Amino acid sequence: MLGMNPIDGPHTLSEDFKVNSIWRTIQGEGPWSGLPAIFVRFSGCCLRCTWCDTSFETGTWRNLPMLADEIHSLVRSTGHRRVVFTGGEPMLWPLGELITMLHDSVEAQIETAGTVWPEGLDRVFERANVSIVCSPKTPKVHPKIIHYADAWKYIIRVGCVDPQDGLPIGSTQRGVDNPTQKLYRADTSPNKIFVQPCDEDDPRKNAANLQEAVLSSLRFGYRLSLQIHKIAGVP
């Protein structure tokens, strides 16, 4: 976390899945905010954001049937069909095969920074209930993400917002200093864009980031996203 993680690359099915944690919680961000869901956090990320608030490096390995069984059993025991795949970067893992195996027993949501696309994921959109929320951390995102993303989430930090559109400027990546760089801008309706104050683990900075996100929402019509799982005190 905090941009200190090793850079990870795409994995194939032959390597199985390295999973950091699986748990039931309330989705606190984006279009499913407030809804109970099963979260699957994969290990590893291909980016290094300086303010990353997630520990994702550690994990244990599961093969495809083991992981699908574990998710199925949690869906059955909790009654929650929504499954959120997050990370790290979940797109580093063969999600197409996993979601195909889960098939219509779940509604899947993938949270991604949008720089990679796993082979075979296109096929699941024909038969599974799956949505993508992209939170850009780079100036470009993968063309498939642009095609398939249902919602876009931008992390807002005071002093790093373009007054022309209320969205982030400046690099998020450790070791890259470019204060005028724009992160990828989604060409979509403002109500599919979520602006979320950055949690910098500092009450004064967080209050300023919140104010900036509120202003962005009021000026440009974006949705305010407040990480309500943290407000509710659930993991």
Q: Which residues bind ligand SF4 (CB under 6 A)?
A: 45, 47-49, 52, 54, 87-89, 113, 137
Q: Which residue, 134 or 158, is less far from ligand SF4 as judged by CB? A: 134
Q: Which residue, 87 or 94, is less far from ligand SF4 as judged by CB? A: 87
Q: Which residue, 2 or 128, is less far from ligand SF4 as judged by CB? A: 2
Q: Report the distance separating Cα 95 and Cα 131, nearest Å.
A: 12
Min separation Cβ 36 and ligand SF4, Å: 23
Q: In terms of Cα–Cα distance, which of 22, 97, 104 is closest to 63?
A: 97
Cα 150 off chain centre by: 12
State residue 44 phi and psi, 5-degree precision: 85, 150
Min separation Cβ 107 and ligand SF4, Å: 22
Q: Which residue, 102 or 141, is less far from ligand SF4 as judged by CB? A: 141
- The b-or-e profile of 43-77 (16+ CB within 10 A means b, else e) is bbbbbbbbbbeeebbebeebeeeebbeebbebbee
Min separation Cβ 29 and ligand SF4, Å: 12
Min separation Cβ 89 and ligand SF4, Å: 6
Q: Which residue, 103 or 140, is less far from ligand SF4 as judged by CB? A: 140
Q: In terms of Cα–Cα distance, which of 143, 144, 190 is closest to 167?
A: 190
Min separation Cβ 205 and ligand SF4, Å: 16
SS3 of residue 173 by DSSP: strand
